[in-house]
A = this chain, B = another copy of it.
Amino acid sequence: MQISPQGAPNIRQETVTEDVSSTAFIRKLENHLRFTSSERDALQRLTQLNVRNVRSRVTFIEASAPASEISIILSGWACRYKMMPDGRRIIVAFHIPGDVCDFHALLTTAADTATEAMVNAKVSSISRQALGNLTALHPRAGQALWWESLVSASIQREWLVNATRRNASERVAHLLCELHVRQAAIADGAEEALCMPLTQADLGNACGMTTEHTNRTLRDLQKADLIVLDKRVIAIKDPDALVELSGFDPAYLHMQTQKVASARSPGAIAIDKCLNTAEV
């Protein structure tokens, strides 16, 4: 599972110096407050200090690793997972560009989750030290980070509801709605941002379902004309119907209302492996 992809077994990640964008990250934080330009600059600089490329399906944050830094997804997708004693893997979160994927690293105790890139990704790391300097100088930035961690927790709660109280179709539909909205909130018009690199296995795992049943459920949703399956792409055909079916209410995402609204705009979204062949 955490096997390096073919071709570069030894080079699991490499530091990059080229230009990368941390706008998604700052945009997400600005859900909670508006930064001054100096605050924004400080965040921008901090997120570009230490950026690395991570190859698809590589676990770049180990559960047992002594954590001394937090990581932010700059591009690509990642999933956070827990391992069961019997080796089963449970996805507890998806992380898209702009997401901080290991707030728990701020705790002094050992991490209980690992994080894997789902496609080739760019990840920025900020040391606890650097973070301390930032919050000392820009307390509001620290506060925004805390808030962001609270939003993560809120999403986690909704996932519990999703997996325990909704049936298979509702679960999948709800997760698609969530990803749709989160995705739209960080998109800046670029179609790349609207690409969701999810396998059916990942999708099902996150919903607490087997791959087989996920597949059948997706077929049902297609039969009902809510989505379209084509090769390895899942396209949302009827967003409103998905919202209706799953009882999706974006309040738990704690976004500014206009960002939520923008996700309601028509237009299909593809969930596929398009990013797998992206540059790295």
A246→B154 CA distance, assembly (Å):
26
User: Hey, what's the 0/1 contact readout for A244-280 against B, CB within 8 Å counting as 1?
Assistant: 0001010110110000000000000000000000000
Docked complex Cα distance between A108 and B161 (Å): 23
A164 touches B161 (CB 8 A): no
Which residues of chain B come closer than 8 Å to A254, judged between CB atoms? 104, 107, 109, 112
Does A152 belong to the interface (CB within 8 Å)? Answer: yes
Q: Given that A104-B154, A112-B252 are known contacts, is A164 also in contact with B165, CB under 8 Å in the complex?
A: no
Partner of A160, one of B84, B160, B255: B160
Complex formed: what's the CA distance from A88 to B153 in Å? 21
Interface residues on A, range: 35 or more
* Contact between chains at B153 and A103 (CB < 8 Å): yes
User: B85 and A247: CB pair below 8 A?
Assistant: yes
A166 to chain B: closest residue by CB: B84
**How far apart are A218's CB and chain B's nearest CB, in angstroms?**
19
Q: Is the CB of B108 within 8 A of A165?
A: no
Contacts of A109 in B (CB 8 A): 251, 254-255
Please, which residues of chain B bring their CB within 8 A of the CB of A113? 157
**Taking A106-B146, A149-B146, A149-B150 as contacts, is the C-beta distance between A90 and B208 under 8 angstroms?**
no
Do A149 and B151 form a contact, CB below 8 Å, given A90-B164, A156-B160, A208-B164?
no
Q: Does A35 lie at the interface of the complex (its beta carbon under 8 Å from any beta carbon of B)?
A: no
4 A-B pairs with least C-beta separation: A164-B208, A153-B153, A109-B254, A112-B252
Chain A residues at the B interface, C-beta cutoff of 8 Å:
32, 82, 84-85, 88, 90, 92-93, 103-104, 106-110, 112-113, 146-147, 149-154, 156-161, 163-165, 208, 247, 249, 251-252, 254-255
